[in-house]
């Protein structure tokens, strides 16, 4: 078999697919006109506004349809697209250019591209992946202005493996039901929306295969392995047979894992280990519960702040937290306070230009310096705690002094709510152990908190001085390194001495090879992406 027939990328969604290839290669959207005359400015502004209304209506109808059919996670993606289409900054940017006599279709494409480049420039993988969402929304508005039709993916009429340079959510949702067997995509990451949609649809996907996809667009048959992250173009009979064998094994394992999905798990010796989920929005709560999450070990709150022109109000945050807490009932939900830095712009916050934002003004450092950002979030968390079992943890803590400063602000918020007569509940407090300093100082910090949550992604990066986004340093991006294991062990030892529990909420929590090592070191809670939960429960029960 020649090397070029194997496309290697990112394992975005588990599963095996073998079937006919369907190449989806729409052309770039070009504006029909670049300029307009001064006497039609009012008419063209109205054309832009009507196009936005039409796109918002279509997106909202799509979201409602998905929600009715049980696709809450996918519906949330289209809700976010509605917000993008209605973004006042997008509107003002387009309207300003139209008044300067640029055509509305050219204006919305160029403004959308500027917004997309801002997202793409961030070092956060999830936010960087949102660049394609902004482009998608801008293209839909431009196409509506020009009276354009869909690009053709809705014409897929037999079950096929879809090959594309990229797939926007609006493309994916237009695929006729049952016609996609899986996806092989040139661009993207595990957090791009084609990956999220594939996981929600239960379809295997390999993304980020790069330019090699071009050589596969004329393929007749494609076999892909979404767990290993590769695809084979026009495979020979022996290769097809091996993929079919994998398919049978996966189906057998899925049937076996069903019995581990719900309920608590213990090791054979009787040690109780909680298996919980990492989520980034209220929309992800339902999917986590369906896969057997015993709670939320990490609720990332950044996404409430990033995809919008202004900071969320206390009330907006309260509503988002309340929804998640109510979804989980008595099960614990741990909210991490805002963890952004110089790599992500926040509206209304004067952020410095930093050469290395991952070593800069981020996490608890930023929160302590900007009470106008920190206090509304803490107040919203305290209020949401009346609806369930809510806990709070602070990110990027390096010593007990930072923790005490954060607790002092939390106490101020408690007093304010009490004086106002607002309902709130007490919450347990924990810290993220994601810096070597926090692990080394764990014995000093432990008496001041109820729990530790080890963020292995950053702990690996900082301990091994290896940027987690640098592909060349992939061999150093493992929690299995002796230095990282030593810091995890030290953290667990300090927690035992203080009588508190320790969780892990980085990628290592869902890695089958790491689960036994983490439990042996003393970890009692593992928090991961929801699809990994049943397998991890099975591993624990056999330890």
Bridge partner list, 429: 392
- Of 179, 209, 202, 205, the residue nearest 194 (C-alpha): 205
**Cα–Cα distance, 535 to 517 (Å, whole number):** 16
Helix axes 72-85, 193-201, angle to 10 degrees: 150
Distance CA 446, CA 170 (A): 48
Instruction: Give the number of other Cβ atoms within 10 Å of residue 336's Cβ.
Output: 25
Length of the chain equals 543
Inter-residue contact 92 to 86 (CB < 8 Å): no
Check if the beta carbon of residue 276 is closer than 8 Å to that of residue 293. Answer: yes
* Structure-token pair, residue 280: 């980034």
The tokens 């599963």 sit on which residue?
A: 15
Q: Is 81 annotated in the active site?
A: no
Are the C-beta atoms of 192 and 14 separated by less than 8 Å? no
Backbone region of residue 46 per phi and psi (left: phi > 0; alpha: psi in -120 to 50; beta: other values): alpha
Q: Which of 81, 91, 193, 387 is catalytic?
A: 193
Contact 460, 477 (CB under 8 A): yes
- Cα torsion through 37, 39, 43, 46, rounded to 10: 80
465 by DSSP, 3-state: which? coil
Q: Yes or no: say if 295 and 331 are a contact pair by the CB < 8 Å rule.
A: yes
Enumerate the H helices of 202-349 as residue ranges. Answer: 237-261, 284-290, 302-306, 314-328
Rg of the chain on CA atoms, in Å: 24
First to last CA, the chain: 40
Q: Active-site residue 387, yes or no?
A: no
* CA–CA distance, 277 with 505 (Å, rounded to integer): 8
Sign of CA pseudo-dihedral 466, 469, 470, 472: positive
Residue 223 and residue 17 in contact, taking contact as beta carbons nearer than 8 Å: yes
Q: For 303, list phi and psi in degrees, rounded to 5.
A: -70, -15
Residues with catalytic annotation? 193, 505
């Amino acid at each position: 078999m020649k090397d070029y027939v194997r496309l290697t990328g990112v394992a975005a969604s588990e599963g095996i697919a073998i079937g006919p290839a369907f190449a989806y290669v729409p052309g770039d959207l070009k504006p029909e006109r670049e300029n307009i005359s001064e006497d039609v400015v009012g008419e063209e502004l109205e054309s832009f506004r009507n196009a936005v209304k039409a796109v918002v209506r279509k997106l909202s109808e799509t979201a409602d349809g998905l929600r009715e059919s049980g696709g809450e996670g996918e519906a949330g993606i289209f809700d976010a697209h509605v917000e993008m289409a209605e973004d006042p900054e997008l509107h003002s940017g387009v309207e300003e250019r139209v008044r300067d006599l640029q055509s509305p279709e050219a204006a919305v494409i160029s403004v959308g591209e500027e917004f997309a480049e801002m997202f793409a420039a961030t070092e956060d993988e999830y936010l960087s992946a949102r660049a394609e969402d902004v482009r998608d929304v801008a293209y839909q508005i431009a196409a509506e202005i020009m009276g354009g039709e869909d690009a053709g993916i809705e014409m897929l009429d037999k079950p096929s493996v879809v090959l594309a340079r990229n797939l926007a959510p609006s493309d994916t949702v237009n695929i006729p039901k049952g016609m996609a067997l899986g996806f092989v995509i040139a661009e993207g990451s595990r957090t791009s929306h084609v990956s999220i949609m594939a996981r929600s649809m239960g379809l295997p996907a390999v993304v980020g295969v790069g330019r090699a996809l071009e050589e596969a667009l004329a393929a007749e048959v494609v076999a892909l392995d979404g767990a290993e992250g590769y695809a084979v173009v026009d495979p020979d009979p022996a290769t097809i047979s091996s993929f079919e064998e994998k398919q049978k094994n996966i189906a057998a394992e899925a049937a076996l894992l069903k019995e581990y999905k719900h309920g608590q798990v213990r090791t054979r010796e009787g040690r109780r280990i909680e298996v919980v989920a990492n989520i980034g929005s209220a929309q992800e709560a339902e999917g986590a519960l369906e896969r057997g999450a015993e709670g939320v070990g990490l609720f990332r709150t950044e996404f409430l702040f990033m995809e919008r022109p202004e900071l969320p109000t206390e009330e907006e945050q309260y509503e988002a937290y309340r929804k998640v807490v109510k979804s989980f009932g008595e099960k614990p939900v741990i909210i991490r306070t805002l963890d952004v830095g110089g790599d992500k712009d926040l509206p209304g916050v004067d952020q410095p230009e930093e050469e290395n934002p991952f070593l800069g003004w981020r996490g608890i450092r930023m929160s302590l310096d900007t009470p106008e950002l920190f206090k509304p979030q803490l107040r919203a968390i305290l209020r949401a705690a009346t609806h369930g079992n809510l806990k709070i943890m602070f990110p990027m803590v390096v010593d007990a002094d930072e923790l005490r400063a954060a607790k002092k602000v939390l106490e101020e918020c408690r007093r304010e709510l009490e004086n106002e007569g607002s309902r709130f509940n007490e919450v347990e407090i924990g810290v993220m152990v994601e810096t070597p300093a926090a692990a080394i100082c764990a014995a000093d910090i432990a008496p001041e908190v109820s729990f530790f949550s080890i963020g292995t992604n950053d702990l690996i990066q900082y301990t091994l001085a290896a940027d987690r986004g640098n592909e060349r340093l992939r061999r150093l991006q493992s929690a299995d390194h002796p230095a990282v294991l030593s810091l995890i062990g030290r953290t667990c030892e300090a927690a035992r001495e203080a009588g508190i529990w320790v969780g892990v909420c980085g990628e290592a929590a869902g890695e089958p090879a790491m689960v036994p090592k983490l439990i042996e070191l003393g970890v009692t809670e593992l928090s991961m992406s929801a699809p990994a939960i049943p397998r991890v429960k099975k591993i624990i029960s056999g330890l």
